[in-house]
Copies of this chain bind each other. A is one copy, B any other.
Amino acid sequence: MIVSIKKGTDEAQIENLVEWLKSLNLEIHRSNGQYDTILGLVGDTSHVDIDLISGLNIVNNVARISEPYKSANRKFHPDDTVIDVCGHKIGGGNFQFIAGPCSVESSEQILSIANDIKAAGANFLRGGAFNPRTSPYAFQGMRAEGLELLEKAKAETGAPIVTEIMDLSHLPMFENVDVIQVGARNMQNFDLLQELGKTKKPILLKRGLANTLQELLMSAEYIMSEGNENIILCERGIRTYETYTRNTLDLSAVPVLHELTHLPVVVDPSHATGKAALVPSMAAAAAACGADGIMLEVHNNPTCALCDGAQSITPAQFAEVYKTVQKVREAIL
């Protein structure tokens, strides 16, 4: 880490800062220039708060040379992490389709969709039992009952379940869930992340609405620092000024994350675009840039879905997407 001190700063203030930095177990290399004094911080800077230092009155700016995350860092773990869920692998060249409705609505609905996506080729069933909604007046999910219906669908189809947790008090209910999803709004719910770190469950960690890739990796680090290394990262669109799509799908996140970390990366084009018509194109694009999987909303009757129907494709459309994505994956081998 490099700290540039403003010209004209009192020597006493610089000394004060240097002493404090040394107390963090860092070695300090100082060089005095004509307009700035530069401090080089050597040692483990992952616990140093760059915002704190850059905000000090006497500091011009600060630059981090090494990343603040360790367990998630490819530099220290060069090989791809491969996560095995009930025999289905993801990462390290293994690609998975995760499909299903936004919300579990009934036993018939979830079973019907589960059978359809299985038949089309998907291994994983997704479905929301707890649904975070912007409005308190909107449908909030079937909750515990929804989880039971997902388990039944798994019992019948064999497809492992991916579903979202909204609060850590619900964790005991998730015992039979195969992959626990942390939604975009909870990406920085640090208490939740730490609690999930104490389980051994695979975690599907979605990027927050306005979070950087580094912050996503820091949230993965929260989970990993408690001992759980089974993390699947998910790009699901970020908020920008463009209003035509619900969010802006940042596909360059896929090759960037593959460079920075060994964890697998999946893409959710349904939530990113908010429009079913855009999903097939963006699913193909996600596969083309190297994603380790795709997560798609599929509904047997999108117009009447209780939640997010507009971004859902039908099982027939999913079967088409499945075929195209497989062909794209072969094209980039």
* Interface residue? A327 (CB, 8 A): yes
Q: Check A288/B277 contact, CB under 8 A, given A16-B303, A188-B134.
A: no
Task: Report copies per complex.
Answer: 4
Give bound CA distance, A168 to B168, whole Å: 9
Question: Nearest chain B CB to A228's CB is how many angstroms away?
Answer: 12
User: Taking the complex as formed, is A119 at the interface, i.e. its CB lies under 8 A from any CB of chain B?
Assistant: no
Q: What per-residue 1/0 map shows which CB atoms of A252-277 lie under 8 Å from chain B?
A: 10111001000000000000111111
Roughly how many angstroms separate A289 CA and B4 CA in the complex, as a whole number? 27
Binds B, one of A110-118, A150-158, A173-181, A240-248: A240-248
Q: Across the interface, which residues of B come within 8 angstroms of A248, CB to CB? A: 238, 240, 248, 250, 252
Near B by CB (< 8 A), chain A positions 1-54 give 2, 4, 7, 13, 16-17, 20, 33, 35-36, 38, 40, 42, 46-47, 49, 51-54
A209 is an interface residue with CB less than 8 A from chain B: yes
A282–chain B nearest beta-carbon distance, Å: 6
- B255 pairs with A137, CB closer than 8 A: no
Q: Which of A79-87, A120-128, A307-315 contacts B (4 or more CB under 8 A)?
A: A307-315
Of B56, B222, B285, the residue contacting A136 (CB under 8 A) is B222
Shortest Cβ distance from A93 into chain B, in angstroms? 15
Q: Which of B20, B218, B243, B309 contacts A135 (CB 8 A)?
A: B218
- Are A249 and B252 in contact, CB atoms less than 8 angstroms apart? yes
Given A47-B137, A63-B2, A65-B60, CB of A304 within 8 Å of CB of B20: yes
A159: interface (CB < 8 Å): no
Asked whether, in the complex, the Cβ of A277 is within 8 Å of the Cβ of B289, the reply is: no
**CB-based contact A328/B17 at 8 Å:** no
Known: A56-B309, A304-B20. A63 touches B66 (CB 8 A): no
**Inter-chain contact B274/A311, CB cutoff 8 Å:** no
A189 within 8 A of B: yes
A287 within 8 A of B: yes
Q: Which chain B residues border A4 with CB–CB below 8 Å?
A: 65-66
Q: Which of A64, A188, A252 gathers the greatest number of chain B CB atoms within 10 Å?
A: A252
Interface-central residue, A4, A49, A259, by most chain B CB under 10 Å: A49
Contact yes or no, A65 B51, CB < 8 A = no
Contact of A284 among B244, B245, B332 (CB under 8 A): B332
Q: Which of A90-110 contact B (CB under 8 A)?
A: none
Known A-B contacts A20-B304, A189-B185, A242-B238; the reply to A274 vs B54 at CB < 8 A is yes
Q: Please, how many angstroms separate the alpha-carbon atoms of A246 and B62 in the complex?
A: 13
Q: Is there an interface contact between B55 and A276, defined as CB atoms closer than 8 Å?
A: yes
Complex A-B, nearest 3 residue pairs according to Cβ-Cβ distance, in ascending order: A55-B310, A63-B63, A210-B210
Please name 25 pairs of A and B residues whose Cβ atoms are closer than 8 Å in the assembled complex, sorted by A: A16-B303, A16-B304, A35-B75, A38-B65, A47-B137, A49-B135, A49-B138, A55-B274, A56-B276, A56-B302, A63-B63, A68-B135, A166-B189, A238-B241, A238-B248, A240-B248, A248-B248, A252-B278, A252-B281, A254-B281, A256-B278, A285-B286, A327-B331, A327-B332, A331-B331
